[in-house]
Structure 1
Amino acid sequence: MDPVAISALCLEEIQTWNSQEEAADLMVPLIGNLYRRKNIVTTIFGKGLVHQNTIDIIKLHSYVCKHVGKEMMPTDTLPVLQVITELDSLSATRLDLGRTFLLVCGGANTKTPTKEDIARVLKQLIIQTSPRTLSLSKPRDIVLYGFGRIGRLLARLLVEKSGSGAKLMLRAIVVRKGSKEDLKKRASLLRRDSVHGSFQGTISFNEEANAFIANGNVIQVIYSDGPDKCDYTAYGIENAVVIDNTGIWRDAESLGRHLKSPGVSEVVLTAPPKGASVPTIVAGVNDHVISGEHKIYSCASCTTNAIAPLLFALDSKYGIDEGHIETVHSFTNDQNLIDNYHMKDRRGRSAVMNMVITETGAAAAVEIVLPTMKNKLTANSIRVPTPNVSLAIMTLHLNPEKAGTLTADDINAYAAKLSLNSPLQHQIDFINSNEAASSDFVGYRAAGIVDGQATIVRGNKVILYVWYDNEFGYSCQVMRVVQRICGISLPKFPDQSHVDMIDSALSF
């Protein structure tokens, strides 16, 4: 390019950036007001916009553009968002701004509509959909029994969600009595995390109440030596869901001890259960079976949550005859820093110096949540010296008749569609970068992320590489199960009746 053209390009690009930044700046308070005043959770193709800053909003728009094949930047979606803030007919909704933009504005070649056009179309769509309202009379009390890696991430998520109607309220954490500095040390672990970064907000102490206050949430610290030794009603806690994240009590009898404590109504286990008496639930796959019949549920393992949604989708579309799952899993605090005794084979070897082959119960757990996978899967695991983010390598033999002349592009297109415009968009994400590495997926909220660049198809054999944040992504899945147990399910707009209309505007 000649100097004049380069100068013109520089000017054009900076002007474009400034206009996008200005639009994103205007979106931040609108998104916040919708969340706090109307309980409207704004997303863009399933990616949350609440609590995001200006640059994050631009990046999310850019990320989505790469996968939907449509130009969609803050300057495009801002007019739609502005109209939404003026509508009185929409409240307590999970609103997807990206999908709404496609419904209202159509494809890239469509003439840009005015705000009046947008308002007219939106009002008609909302009337047709008639989103139900959500009763938010009294929040459900949540107790975290244990405050380890998963417990602290669940605390962050619960505090994050407390700004909108407070549907779930973290009331207490239960731990063993530590030193006299115990309260401050527990709070410090919540405030700082070597993997997930700093807590987004402020934390203060009330030593008289033995509690700390995180973003206005008073979190009682209760000391106990057993599940049945707490009287939660003494702290004003009633009808609580106890999330046991200790991993110590895993069968129905021992978990049932929680229910003997006054103030507890349900128990959720953040690990695979022992025995068949505790129902295993994976959000997005079989959470529809949750009912008042059971008081104790298991959320399975992080690996089961990562692979089950994709297996469910692939089996529904193509049929799975058999498969093997190999997980490359980050080390956990169950392993040793240096060689030392461990009851399980190989686990005694140093976690930071070795790759360690070990067993995984993921295949057996998948059979529980997906009975169609019975006797079709095998699985193994390799623990590796990274602190977080794991990788499931799924080798699947699909039904030859249903698979037909399948290609890697077909599989990737299906995975991308699942991540953007399907009921599984919160469980399945998709990335297609040939520079992606494990640390890029720290903090991902999806249960699993399909790496499109690594997909291999040979006839009816498909090999998929699925990344997952085995800490935060799993914690998000646990939260989805807890919300389902508590009957908290925001109506969605656009809803399932609009899927085909949105698909037609996408490049699938």
Structure 2
Amino acid sequence: MKKIAIYGFGRIGRQLLRIALDRDLFVPQAIADVKAVKTLGALFSVDTNYGRWPGTVDTSATGFLLNGNEIAYVDSSNGIPDWNKLGVDLVVDCSGRATKRAGAQAHLDQGAKYVLVSAPSKSLEDCDAVLLKGINLEQFDPASHHIISMGSCTTNALAVPIRVIKEAFGIEYGLFSTVHSYTNSQSLTDQPMADIRDSWAAAENIIPSSSGAAKALQFIWSDLRVTGKAYRVPTRTGSIAELNLITTKSCTVADVNEAFRKAATGPELKGVLDVLEDQWTSARIVADPHSSIIDLNLTAKQGDLLSVATWYDNEWGFSNRLAEVAQYLAARI
């Protein structure tokens, strides 16, 4: 397997590393960030959402020692590291700053061969491909795909039911709304922010927000006519998206739920899609590794309008897919 680096050791970068080590997917060659390595080690060791990491964590001026695995630390406050010197082939960019081509290209200019972006690219011109596990990952072409976007947690959560319904019943058009836990882009207290709605305290408000998922989904299915929005709510992690669709073929609630049950056990979506038969709240899906967890009790039909709801841990589920896709790419480049 080719050598992997993690660029940006925030919420997603740290969960990505936990998953990669816990599941023996890979050990990164290097981690790059702008914060002090000792602080980053402490945050990796104890996480508010996911508790203590069961392994040993030590840090030094040059890097991390995690369960005996030596991982170099690079201070990137002065720019992108020299990946060629570090022997890195694939950079997983978790900084949130590679959504435009120039940001991702900077890694290639510094010697990396491939970049996996843990966010939706602004446009199709800003990446070479949008690849999701369980959807279209097998389309990866090492010769032409050097900047790969993974979309967002919501992109991955919605792509799964869209694929199942599209293949079984067809989709004419639709709308979605996601009720999403607050994120680092918001403020802890009321203060001016670039997005005016983000100016109010994240833990005290329901805050409407835009969602990049619709555009990313259209990068995968150019004929898809589905758009939507998000509402940020005061939960630490765990989200639910409601997808309202007009299908091409007639279907019943029973038909749709059976399609989900079948897809969840099939080889293409196993581990990516799950279903809930009983009635739960968001606490049930915290630290669940699936991208999309269909709440079968919430499937509804009114006339031609179909409504389905899918839970997802917006941090943990997405980070599991990110780790798996990174391993997949590194084994094929």
Question: Which has the larger strand fraction?
Answer: 2
Mapping for residues 147-162 of structure 1, pairs under 5 Å: 147-162=9-24
| Residue of structure 2 equivalent to 1:481 | 325
1:220 counterpart (72, 88, 96) = 72
1:225 Cα offset (Å): 2.6
2:211 counterpart (357, 360, 372) = 360
d(CA) in 2 for partners of 1:379, 1:307: 11
1:227 Cα offset (Å): 4.9
d(CA) in 1 for partners of 2:147, 2:267: 29
TM-score (norm 2): 0.94
1:386 Cα offset (Å): 0.6
d(CA) in 2 for partners of 1:153, 1:159: 10
1:426 counterpart (261, 264, 271) = 271
Kindly tell me: are residues 239 and 352 of structure 1, through their superposed partners in 2, closer, same or farther at Cα, counting changes over 3 Å? closer
| Residue of structure 1 equivalent to 2:118 | 270
Kindly tell me: are residues 227 and 142 of structure 1, through their superposed partners in 2, closer, same or farther at Cα, counting changes over 3 Å? farther
Residues 153 and 475, structure 1, Cα contact 8 Å, conserved in 2: yes
Kindly tell me: are residues 227 and 265 of structure 1, through their superposed partners in 2, closer, same or farther at Cα, counting changes over 3 Å? farther
Does residue 189 (structure 1) correspond to residue 43 (structure 2)? The answer is yes
TM-score (norm 1): 0.62
| Residue of structure 2 equivalent to 1:462 | 306
d(CA) in 2 for partners of 1:322, 1:222: 46
1:215 Cα offset (Å): 1.7
d(CA) in 2 for partners of 1:360, 1:423: 26
d(CA) in 2 for partners of 1:350, 1:239: 40
- Larger RCO, structure (CA 8 Å, separation 6 or more): 2
Mapping for residues 13-24 of structure 1, pairs under 5 Å: none
Residues 227 and 255, structure 1, Cα contact 8 Å, conserved in 2: no
Mapping for residues 185-264 of structure 1, pairs under 5 Å: 185-205=39-59, 207=60, 210-225=62-77, 227-228=79-80, 230-234=81-85, 237-262=86-111, 264=112
Does residue 141 (structure 1) correspond to residue 3 (structure 2)? The answer is yes
Residues 33 and 76, structure 2, Cα contact 8 Å, conserved in 1: yes
1:226 Cα offset (Å): 5.1
1:431 Cα offset (Å): 0.6
Residues 388 and 469, structure 1, Cα contact 8 Å, conserved in 2: yes
d(CA) in 1 for partners of 2:243, 2:122: 25
Mapping for residues 96-107 of structure 1, pairs under 5 Å: none
d(CA) in 2 for partners of 1:142, 1:364: 28
3-state SS of the aligned residue for 2:198?
coil
d(CA) in 2 for partners of 1:318, 1:232: 46
2:242 counterpart (393, 401, 406) = 393
d(CA) in 1 for partners of 2:99, 2:211: 16
| Residue of structure 2 equivalent to 1:319 | 170
1:185 Cα offset (Å): 1.5
d(CA) in 1 for partners of 2:323, 2:151: 13
2:255 counterpart (362, 386, 410) = 410
Q: Over residues 243-279 of structure 1, what are the superposed CA-to-partner deviations in whole Å (9 max), with x where a residue is unaligned? A: 11111232112211111224x2111111111232202
Q: CA RMSD in A?
A: 1.8
d(CA) in 2 for partners of 1:269, 1:227: 17
d(CA) in 1 for partners of 2:265, 2:79: 41
What 5-or-longer segments of structure 2 have no aligned partner?
A: none
Structure 2 letter corresponding to 1:250: T
Does residue 280 (structure 1) correspond to residue 134 (structure 2)? The answer is no
3-state SS of the aligned residue for 1:155?
helix
Q: Over residues 198-224 of structure 1, what are the superposed CA-to-partner deviations in whole Å (9 max), with x where a residue is unaligned? A: 11322123x26x222112211111112
Residues 140 and 168, structure 1, Cα contact 8 Å, conserved in 2: no
Structure 2 letter corresponding to 1:154: L
Does residue 290 (structure 1) correspond to residue 172 (structure 2)? The answer is no
Structure 2 letter corresponding to 1:152: R
3-state SS of the aligned residue for 1:140?
coil
1:458 Cα offset (Å): 2.8
Mapping for residues 30-69 of structure 1, pairs under 5 Å: none
Residues 30 and 71, structure 2, Cα contact 8 Å, conserved in 1: yes
Deviation >3 Å, runs of 4+ = none
Structure 2 letter corresponding to 1:212: F
1:140 Cα offset (Å): 2.2
Kindly tell me: are residues 422 and 458 of structure 1, through their superposed partners in 2, closer, same or farther at Cα, counting changes over 3 Å? farther
Q: Over residues 309-337 of structure 1, what are the superposed CA-to-partner deviations in whole Å (9 max), with x where a residue is unaligned? A: 21011101100111110110110011011
Kindly tell me: are residues 269 and 305 of structure 1, through their superposed partners in 2, closer, same or farther at Cα, counting changes over 3 Å? same
Residues 65 and 71, structure 2, Cα contact 8 Å, conserved in 1: yes
d(CA) in 2 for partners of 1:200, 1:313: 37
d(CA) in 2 for partners of 1:261, 1:346: 37
Residues 144 and 245, structure 1, Cα contact 8 Å, conserved in 2: yes
Residues 20 and 26, structure 2, Cα contact 8 Å, conserved in 1: yes
1:483 Cα offset (Å): 2.6
1:239 Cα offset (Å): 4.3
Q: Over residues 29-62 of structure 1, what are the superposed CA-to-partner deviations in whole Å (9 max), with x where a residue is unaligned? A: xxxxxxxxxxxxxxxxxxxxxxxxxxxxxxxxxx
3-state SS of the aligned residue for 1:328?
strand
| Residue of structure 2 equivalent to 1:168 | 26
Residues 391 and 465, structure 1, Cα contact 8 Å, conserved in 2: yes
1:443 counterpart (276, 287, 309) = 287
Structure 1 letter corresponding to 2:290: A
Residues 282 and 369, structure 1, Cα contact 8 Å, conserved in 2: no
1:233 Cα offset (Å): 5.0
1:426 Cα offset (Å): 2.3
d(CA) in 2 for partners of 1:286, 1:227: 33
